[in-house]
């Protein structure tokens, strides 16, 4: 079975502070992992995917198969990063499941 | 392409009534997903289709929920009869079934059952 766990409902940090949004997954096969973001009044959209090993808007995420984790990190939070963040796992047959989401609130 | 289009954007209905949500995926995409978003449970996968065929409907909460995809450009999610606990935002997403492709989401339908 595919499962994604995001343990924090809300993460509140000050501007300029480091951010880490946690994501753990459960999947017996080789996972494809993603982070999606939903800004206020906007559609849910892809932020980054593990296979690309990219940095988008200063965010990075590393797949750790040993810990079955895909945490999202940014060294210095900005107010415009405030949004809902979802971790997602795509498994066999193109099935795409999401975690419960974490609200990131960046305070000035 | 205007992206994934959902209608209606908002729906308010009385308990016991039938509700039909509609989705037009991006042209050329061959996977379509229906999700329900609530504060308590986040984004739950209800059902998804590959090439218009339902692959996994294990997330559909009850027999009151049904989904169809009669062709590659249209899908519906029906709730009959609706109940107050069905109140949520329902999202449709589509993607191309291939390596590393992303899913594109519609703007969602906010359903309120009173």
The alpha carbon of residue A10 is apart from the nearest alpha carbon of chain B, in Å, by: 11
Of A46, A95, A101, Cβ closest to residue B42 = A101
Choice between A54 and B90, residue whose per-residue pLDDT is larger? B90
**pLDDT per residue as tens digits for the range A11-38:** 999 999 999 999 999 999 888 999 999 9
The residue among B5, B37, B41, B43 with the most chain A CBs within 10 A of its CB, best to mutate, is B43
The full DSSP string for A32-52 is EEEEEEE-TTS--EEEEEGGG
- Flag if B43 and A100 touch (Cβ within 8 Å): yes
The alpha carbon of residue B85 is apart from the nearest alpha carbon of chain A, in Å, by: 18
**pLDDT per residue as tens digits for the range A71-83:** 999 999 999 999 9
pLDDT at residue B40 in the model: 85
Side-chain half-sphere exposure of A74, counting CA atoms within 13 A: 24
Choice between A54 and B16, residue whose per-residue pLDDT is larger? B16
Checking if the pLDDT of A10 tops 60, the result is: yes
pLDDT at residue B41 in the model: 87
- Flag if A52 and B33 touch (Cβ within 8 Å): no
pLDDT at residue B1 in the model: 66
pLDDT at residue B25 in the model: 97
pLDDT at residue B99 in the model: 56
Work out the pLDDT band at A105, boundaries 50, 70, 90.
very high
Low-confidence ranges of chain B (pLDDT < 70): 1, 98-100
pLDDT at residue B13 in the model: 97
Helix (H/G/I), strand (E/B), else coil: A76: coil
- With an 8 Å Cβ cutoff, the interface of chain A facing chain B consists of 6, 32, 34, 43-46, 49, 51-52, 86, 93-101
Per CB-CB distance under 8 Å, the chain B contacts of A5 are none
pLDDT at residue A88 in the model: 96
pLDDT at residue B79 in the model: 97
pLDDT at residue B62 in the model: 85
Q: In angstroms, rounded to a whole number, what is the distance separating the alpha carbons of residues A49 and A107?
A: 27
């Amino acid at each position: 079975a595919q499962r994604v766990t995001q343990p924090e409902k809300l993460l509140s940090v000050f501007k300029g502070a480091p951010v880490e949004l946690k994501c753990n997954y459960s999947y017996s096969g080789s996972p494809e992992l993603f982070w999606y973001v939903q800004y206020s009044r906007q559609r849910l959209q892809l932020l980054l995917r593990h296979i690309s090993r990219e940095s988008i808007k200063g965010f990075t995420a590393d797949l750790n198969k040993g810990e079955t984790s895909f945490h999202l990190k940014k060294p210095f939070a900005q107010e415009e990063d405030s949004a809902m963040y979802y971790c997602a796992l795509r498994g066999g047959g193109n099935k795409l499941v999401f975690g419960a989401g974490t609200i990131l609130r960046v305070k000035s | 392409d205007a992206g994934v289009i959902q209608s209606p954007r908002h729906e308010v209905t009385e308990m016991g009534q039938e509700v039909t949500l509609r989705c037009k995926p991006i042209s050329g995409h061959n996977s379509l997903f229906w999700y329900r978003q609530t504060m308590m449970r986040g984004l739950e996968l209800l059902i998804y289709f590959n090439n218009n065929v339902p692959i996994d409907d294990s997330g559909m909460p009850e027999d009151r929920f049904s989904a169809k995809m009669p062709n590659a450009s249209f899908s519906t999610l029906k709730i009959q009869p609706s109940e107050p606990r069905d109140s949520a935002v329902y999202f449709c997403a589509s993607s191309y079934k291939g390596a590393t492709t992303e899913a594109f989401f519609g703007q969602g339908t906010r359903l309120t059952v009173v």
